[in-house]
Each structure stands twice: as C-alpha cells, then as structure tokens.
C-alpha cells in the first residue's frame, strides 16, 4: 500500500509538471507545483513536504542551488532529480548535493514510481545525528533553529504535545516566535494534514469578534447576506491558533470558554449548536494574571487555556543561538534578494552578540534582511544599523526639557536591563502599559 505523501514538483516546463502530477496523483500522492526555485522556497516554508522532485536546468536559479538549500534546511526530506541533460559529472554533483536518485527524461510512469519509492526508502535509512544535536526540531519544523538550553526546553515540550489535542498557552515577548512554536506543534504532529488557522485577536474589532470566531447565519445582523463559517469551523480536525488572546472581549471570552468545555459552538443568529473537534493554541505577550486582577480577562478561561504552558525565551536569554539564527536568515534572504548564498564577517557576529535585542528574533531577522539589501555580497559592519554599533555616552553639558530627560533615562534603564521591559518597569516603578506609551 502506498502512503499518501506530499511531493513538491519543481520544473520550468509546464507540460512536465502536469505529467508528473498526473502520474503521482494516480499513485495516491498529493502534489505541489512550482515553476521556479523562488516559488519552491515559498512552498517549502508554508507546507510540510515529504519529497522534493526538481529539474536542474532552470532560468535564474538552477535546481542544484535548490538541492543545496534543501539539504541544509530540510535534511531529512528526500530529494529526487529529473533532467534532460544527463552526464556522469552532473550525476555525481547532484548526489553530492543531497539527491537520493537521478532520473533522465523521458521516463515512464513505472520508472517514476520506482524512483519515488527508492527515494523514500533511502531517506528512512539516513542518519542526521549532527543535525539533530544542533537542532532538536530539524525533523519537525526547519524554521525553528537553536542549540541553547532555553531553546531546548521549548522543543522538549513541543515533542510532548504535538500528537495530542491538549490546549496550549504560549507566553513570550513580542518577536520571540510564538506563532512559529504553534506551527511547529501542529506541523510536526499527526494532525499536520488538517487545517492550521491563525487568528490575530487584536486585529478583529470587538463588535465583529463573535461572528468571526463562530460564524453567522443569513440575516443575523445588517450585512449578513449569507451563511458563513467561523474560525472554529474552518479549523475542524486541526489547530486554531489565537494570537494576542488577551485582547478578546469579555463577551467573546465567555463563549470561548463554552466552546472549549463543550466542544461546540453556535453561529450568531442560530439556535442550533455545532460540534467542533479542534486543538486550540493561544498566545500572549502580556501577563494574563495581571489582566485577571484588573478584571480584563476571565480566570476560568485562563485555567482552561493553560493545560500546557510554553514560555518562549527572549533572544537575550538564548544568545548562543544567534550564530545559527543568523545563518538561517542569511541563507533565506540571500537567495530571495540576491539569488545566492552570502558570507558574513566575524566582526559583524561580535556586534550582534553584544546587542540586547529588545525586539527579539524578529528584530534580528529585520537587521539581517536590511544588511543583505544594503550589502555587496559580504555582510560587513558598515551594513549594520547605527543603533547596533558602539555609542559614545557623552556627559550632559546643557539643560534639556523634562520630556527629554525622561526619554534619556528610560533608554538608560532599558540598556541596563538589556531590553527587559518588565525589569525596566519595576525600576521605573510604572506598569508595562505606561512604559509602552513612553516608548512610543
């Protein structure tokens, strides 16, 4: 019996793509198609791919570059090459780049079937001990990388919850990668083929939250011209990720609680309930216990959400992961913006390791992205923003306004706490909301 796997097909020849798709679908495989390496990278990022089948001769970036990229980013994924220009040296090169087999055009359906089975069989026998020691999630989600103890604690919890539907609450500062953790839980587990629906609760107006979450029937309110499913129905069988859960209105919180307890929802304007079978993962960058004290969040919902808690550490607590994160971003944006891999000087790494990163991984990614755009092939110190470079702290020699004094002092406290806003707020004896307002 053939298992149904996800296979990514990459070829600039549309006819070949369609032929491959027809053959593989008749073998009960699910396929994705890409006509360029750049399009293939987007699919690899967003979908779980079990096998890559790529042509070599393609315009702009060839399939060999894609093979090298996939071998380092997705080492456990088998890779099969098809080409119309066979040669001994070419075969050796693609095998060295990570391909498990080499298929010459034209080929029969039976030759393709045997090559695919061989690719899956050889892949199951390959060992990646070095990769696994550096990246505990290499086989789960290639977007998550790290080797620090703090990162390891997160990946350990992901491993434990990925195959069940226990409710998870992910906590962490902005930019730490909470949604990435949620996606790793979903796509590394046995429910990965089911939908993953991500919802930013803070982006939905309060008066529309109930309708967006649970759906509505025609005529339920002005503008409801048809029956519509909500996020809960859309995630049926899979995962619903509720980001910024602390911004949900109290009215919606009570309905969320019932949905989690009873595993059923009611559309706006309907009388009949609908059963739902989903896993809910919520995330927050605020202290929900403080919100409970301030009557802004329901205590019963909080404990319903925290069956399992994951604290995603800020980047300043996992500085050992900076080199591997930088390597990932350099490869990602080097290919996207420059169509090639770039190098980075040791002096740049020294600067990146000493900066406190108040914006966390997202800020680091933005800095590398900018440096690649500004650079000329090698990322140097000149390509980094000035805020990362050495600053001279001159003594105050002139009188300034009170607002300027407050601004300077807040900045000094943040530098002292290495970007930790909670500690900074404690030193300043103000709450985090007031600190956020001052930072704006």
- As a whole number of Å, the end-to-end CA separation of the chain is 60
CATH number at residue 211: 3.40.50.300
Backbone dihedral angles phi then psi of residue 9, each to the nearest 5 degrees: -105, 130
pLDDT value for 133: 39
Closest CA to 339 of 371, 365, 377, 366: 377
Same domain flag for 278 and 211: yes
Contact 280, 167 (CB under 8 A): yes
Same domain flag for 349 and 271: no
Mean pLDDT of 28-43: 90
Give pTM, 2 decimals.
0.60
Strand-pairing partners, residue 81, are 54, 102
Q: What is the pLDDT of residues 145-156, one digit of tens each?
A: 888 989 999 999
pLDDT value for 71: 78
| CA gap 424, 242 in Å, rounded | 28
| CA gap 353, 387 in Å, rounded | 14
Same domain flag for 244 and 372: no
Same domain flag for 329 and 367: yes
Q: What DSSP letter does each residue of 58-70 carry, written as one string?
A: -SSS-HHHHHHHH
pLDDT value for 394: 54
Mean pLDDT of 113-138: 59
Q: What is the pLDDT of residues 384-426, one digit of tens each?
A: 998 898 776 655 566 778 888 888 888 888 888 888 888 888 8
**In 10 A of CB 142, how many CB atoms?**
20
| CA gap 98, 93 in Å, rounded | 9
Same domain flag for 327 and 305: no
Establish if 269 belongs to a structural domain.
Answer: yes
Query: Residue 129 above 80 pLDDT?
Result: no
| CA gap 143, 254 in Å, rounded | 35
- Provide the 3-class DSSP secondary structure of residue 32: strand
- Provide the 3-class DSSP secondary structure of residue 437: helix
Of the chain, the percentage scoring pLDDT greater than 90 comes to 48
Establish if 394 belongs to a structural domain.
Answer: no
Mean pLDDT of 66-80: 83
Establish if 140 belongs to a structural domain.
Answer: no
Contact 180, 315 (CB under 8 A): no
91 — pLDDT class (breaks 50, 70, 90): low
Same domain flag for 121 and 257: no
Query: Residue 255 above 70 pLDDT?
Result: yes
pLDDT value for 416: 85
Candidate from 285-289, 299-303, 341-345, 362-366 with smallest mean pLDDT: 341-345
CATH number at residue 327: 1.10.8.60
Q: Which residues contact 360 (CB under 8 A, 6 or more apart)?
A: 173, 174, 175, 176, 177, 314, 315
Candidate from 87-101, 123-137, 355-369 with smallest mean pLDDT: 123-137
Establish if 393 belongs to a structural domain.
Answer: no
CATH number at residue 425: 1.10.10
Domain extent at residue 418: 402-439
Establish if 141 belongs to a structural domain.
Answer: no
Burial 32-71 (b: 16+ CB within 10 A, else e): bbbbbbeebbebbeeebbbbbbbbbebeebebbbbbbbbb
pLDDT value for 132: 40
pLDDT value for 437: 81
Closest CA to 30 of 10, 50, 46: 50
Establish if 45 belongs to a structural domain.
Answer: yes
Establish if 142 belongs to a structural domain.
Answer: no
Q: Average pLDDT over the chain, rounded to whole? A: 85
Same domain flag for 50 and 28: yes
Closest CA to 176 of 281, 285, 73: 285
Report, in angstroms and rounded to the nearest whole number, the Rg of the chain calculated over CA atoms: 25
Contact 76, 126 (CB under 8 A): yes
Same domain flag for 80 and 197: no
220 — pLDDT class (breaks 50, 70, 90): confident
Establish if 136 belongs to a structural domain.
Answer: no
Same domain flag for 307 and 322: no
Same domain flag for 284 and 162: yes
Higher per-residue pLDDT: 271 or 401 = 271
Question: What are the CA-CA distances from residue 189 to residues 45, 145, 165 (Å)?
Answer: 17, 18, 10
90 — pLDDT class (breaks 50, 70, 90): low
Q: What is the pLDDT of residues 309-362, one digit of tens each?
A: 999 999 999 999 999 999 889 888 888 887 777 888 999 999 999 999 999 999
Q: How many domains is the chain partitioned into structurally?
A: 4
Same domain flag for 199 and 290: yes
pLDDT value for 392: 62
Same domain flag for 117 and 221: no
Q: At what angle do helices 346-354 and 360-374 cross, to 10 degrees?
A: 150
- 37 alpha-carbon distance from chain centroid: 20
| Tokens (6 digits) for 228 | 């519509």
């Amino acid at each position: 019996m053939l298992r149904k796997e996800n296979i990514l097909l990459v070829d600039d020849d549309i006819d070949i793509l369609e032929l491959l798709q027809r053959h593989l679908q008749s073998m009960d495989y699910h396929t994705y198609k890409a006509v360029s390496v750049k399009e293939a990278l987007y699919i690899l990022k967003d979908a779980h791919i079990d096998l890559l089948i790529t042509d070599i001769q393609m315009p702009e970036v060839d399939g060999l570059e894609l093979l090298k990229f996939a071998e380092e980013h997705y080492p456990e994924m088998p890779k099969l090459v098809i080409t119309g220009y066979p040669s001994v040296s070419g075969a050796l090169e693609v095998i060295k780049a990570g391909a498990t087999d080499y298929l010459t055009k034209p080929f029969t359906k039976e030759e393709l079937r045997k090559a695919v089975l061989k690719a899956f069989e050889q892949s199951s026998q390959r060992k990646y001990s070095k990769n696994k020691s550096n990246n505990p999630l290499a086989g789960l989600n290639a977007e998550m990388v790290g080797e620090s103890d703090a990162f390891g604690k997160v990946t350990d919890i992901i491993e434990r919850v990925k195959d069940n539907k226990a409710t998870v609450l992910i906590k962490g500062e902005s930019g730490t990668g909470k949604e990435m953790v949620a996606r790793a839980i979903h796509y590394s587990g046995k429910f990965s083929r089911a939908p993953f629906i991500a919802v930013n609760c803070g982006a939905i107006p309060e008066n529309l939250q109930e309708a967006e979450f649970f759906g509505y029937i025609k005529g339920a309110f002005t503008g409801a011209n048809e029956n519509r499913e909500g996020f809960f129905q859309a995630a049926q069988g899979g995962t619903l990720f509720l980001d910024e859960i602390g911004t949900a209105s109290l009215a919606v919180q009570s309905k969320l609680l019932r949905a989690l307890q009873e595993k059923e929802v009611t559309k706006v304007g309907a009388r009949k309930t609908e059963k739902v079978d989903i896993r809910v993962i919520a995330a927050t960058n605020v202290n929900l216990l403080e919100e409970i004290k301030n009557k802004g969040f329901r205590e019963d919902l909080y404990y319903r959400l925290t069956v399992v808690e994951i604290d995603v550490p800020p980047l300043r607590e996992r500085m050992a992961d900076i080199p591997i994160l930088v390597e990932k971003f350099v490869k990602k944006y080097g290919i996207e913006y420059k169509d090639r891999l770039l190098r980075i000087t040791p002096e740049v790494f020294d600067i990146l390791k000493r900066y406190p990163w108040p914006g966390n991984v997202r800020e680091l990614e933005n800095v590398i992205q900018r440096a690649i755009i500004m650079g000329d092939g090698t990322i140097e110190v000149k390509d980094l923003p000035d805020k990362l470079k050495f600053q001279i702290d001159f003594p105050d020699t002139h009188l300034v306004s009170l607002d300027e004094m407050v601004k300077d002092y807040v900045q000094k406290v943040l530098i002292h706490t290495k970007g930790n806003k909670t500690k900074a707020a404690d030193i300043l004896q103000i709450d985090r909301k007031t600190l956020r307002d001052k930072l704006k």
